[in-house]
Structure 1
Amino acid sequence: MCSNCSLMQYAPLEAVLFDIDGTLCDSDPIHHHAFQEMLLEIGYNGGVPIDEEFFVKNIAGKHNEDIATALFPDDHARGVQFCDDKEVMFRRLAKDQVKPLPGLLKLTKWIEDHGLKRAAVTNAPRPNAELIISTLGLSDFFEAVIIGSECKNPKPSPDPYLKALEVLKVSKDRSIIFEDSPSGIKAGVAAGMPVIGISTRNPEQLLMEAKPAFLIKDYEDPKLWAALEELDKKGGVRNGTSCL
């Protein structure tokens, strides 16, 4: 196992927290498509479709209030309404398109078998979050779903992750986070927790600048399972059950 991919300093592990978009499923292409189509309809950017670079810089992982400001700096109210309408389109598309990231269901089984607490923590609107969780068959898996807009501040503020710790009644020193965006990683790091970054769509360089504990490609990545196996062997998981 790579020298910096150990999780032993957070043992005994008590909780696992997940972002949703890009972390449970590769939903960013659906978001990108919805934004692209709707912005084209209003002639945004001179009728030139927004590309991946624009999407990553201005939209991916961000809260809708911030997206609204980025897209419509001179008319925030219009931007907020646009984002609300876009979410309706996203939900219509997502219910037939979202699939779990490779290895996710293996990991959720490992978490369940070890009796760990778990929460989803997202900047997405609650209807989006609940739709994705339900579509992935994880409604009974998560003990809590924390929404950024329902906290004092959304990510990259640590508030959503701090709220998750409070709801689950666990310590930041005994919890880990899975995140796929720079803003999400920054939120977890600011909350004092180790964040395992997932390079689903965002460039690895951008993710590393946010200071994750380490990066994985997806939940089948050998680095992740080597770290979890180390926890198992050294009794670093709360109930000590091994299913690897």
Structure 2
Amino acid sequence: ANSGSFHFAAWQETFAKRGVNFTKEHFTRLFGTRNDFIIRNVLGEELSEENVKSIVQEKEASFREKAKGNIKPFPGVVKLLNTIKRGNFKLALVSSAPKENIDLLSSELNLEGIFDCIVSGREVAESKPSPQIYLLAAEKLGAEPKDCIVIEDSPFGVKAAKAAGMRCLAVTNSHPKQDLEEADRVVDSLEKVDLITLIQRV
């Protein structure tokens, strides 16, 4: 979904209250990682766990306020998900975001019930590029990592998928092609991606 601009605005607002200018460069570099990873990267590793949790809650409340009613899917996403589902393949929604954000996006895009499992960043100890979140998704699906295909749009996400031993299709929604070249295939949009492309060409 086109949620990046709302995340960026929420981070800018949250960090500005703490005297930090959170730039587009910061956001692009850290995109796809977990909130605690971003906060410690920007404000320092010495922050207490309590402070980090407080900042996360503030930022995510701001994000949900900005995003509600304004979320739209990237072209081809919903059609591809429905095609995969009709093909009797299992689907997992895997995100570094907290569960509340995932629920909001699923509701806004009318995707409730389409996924066989949902895995949020809170369920694993390490943020992407660690493969933990994807390995947990495979475990929940009852699938071998080598049989899984990940659709990603961030360099950290691509690294995580490949480290998990999975195939990866990257989409240039938020990063240029050269930043995603570790993926098995990179496309500009999911509009022309079908099951044959996913299974045979990734």
Compute the TM-score of the two structures, normalised by the length of structure 1: 0.75
Structure 1 range deviating more: 169-178 or 74-83: 74-83
Task: Select 2:44's aligned residue among 41, 61, 73.
Answer: 73
Tell whether 2:202 aligns with 1:229.
no
Kept in 2, the 8 Å contact 1:180–1:199? The answer is: yes
Q: Report the CA distance between 1:54 and its aligned residue.
A: 2.0
Structure 1 range deviating more: 78-87 or 136-145: 78-87
Q: Deviations over 1:135-178 (max 9, x none)?
A: 11111101111112212423211111111111111122322110
Q: Which amino acid aligns with 1:172?
A: P
Structure 2: which 5+ residue stretches go unaligned?
A: none
Q: Which amino acid aligns with 2:131?
A: P
Report runs of 4+ in structure 1 exceeding 4 Å deviation. none
Tell whether 2:68 aligns with 1:101.
no
**How many pairs were matched up?**
199
Rg (Cα) greater in structure:
1
Q: CA separation of 1:151/1:79 partners in 2, compared to 1, >3 Å: closer, same or farther? A: closer
Q: Which amino acid aligns with 1:112?
A: K
Structure 1 range deviating more: 120-129 or 147-156: 147-156
Q: Report the CA distance between 1:38 and its aligned residue.
A: 2.6
Q: Which amino acid aligns with 2:36?
A: E
Structure 1: which 5+ residue stretches go unaligned?
A: 1-24, 237-244
Q: Report the CA distance between 1:185 and its aligned residue.
A: 0.8
1:56 paired residue number: 28
SS in 1 for 2:150: strand
1:219 paired residue number: 190
Matched residues, percent identical? Answer: 33
Q: CA separation of 1:74/1:176 partners in 2, compared to 1, >3 Å: closer, same or farther? A: closer
1:176 paired residue number: 149
SS in 2 for 1:44: coil
Q: Which protein has greater RCO, CA pairs closer than 8 Å, 6+ apart?
A: 1
Kept in 1, the 8 Å contact 2:37–2:127? The answer is: no
Taking only aligned residues, the RMSD between alpha carbons, in angstroms, comes to 2.1
Task: Name the CA distance, whole Å, in 1 between partners of 2:175 and 2:59.
Answer: 21
